[in-house]
């Protein structure tokens, strides 16, 4: 157990249109619409772990909206688009 504890108030997950999602929703939540209200979304999305998998070893951007047909939010073979 960590000596540092943090808590976060309960939040309502929102879809890409900004509308709240229900517990039964099959629509992916939007971190930008959900967390970006209070947190610096632009700064977070420029971070190393967020960008991991966006480019191949040569620096070419390899993300695609059609990377994974089953899970449309997966945009790359790395972490990009998965969290």
**What pTM, to 2 d.p., does this model score?**
0.55
Q: For 16-54, write each residue's pLDDT tens digit.
A: 999 999 999 999 999 999 999 899 988 887 776 667 777
26-35 contacts, C-beta under 8 A, 24 or more apart: 28/72, 28/73, 35/11
Mean pLDDT of the chain: 81
pLDDT given at position 22: 96
The whole-number pLDDT of residue 36 equals: 92
d(CA 65, CA 73): 8
């Amino acid at each position: 157990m960590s000596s540092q504890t943090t808590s976060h108030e309960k939040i309502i997950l929102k879809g890409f249109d900004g509308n709240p999602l229900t517990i039964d929703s099959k629509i992916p939540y939007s971190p930008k619409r959900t967390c970006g209200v209070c947190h610096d979304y632009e700064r977070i999305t420029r971070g190393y772990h967020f960008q991991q998998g966006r480019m191949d070893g040569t620096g070419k951007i390899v993300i695609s909206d059609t990377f994974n047909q089953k899970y449309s939010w997966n945009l790359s073979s790395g972490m990009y688009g998965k969290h």
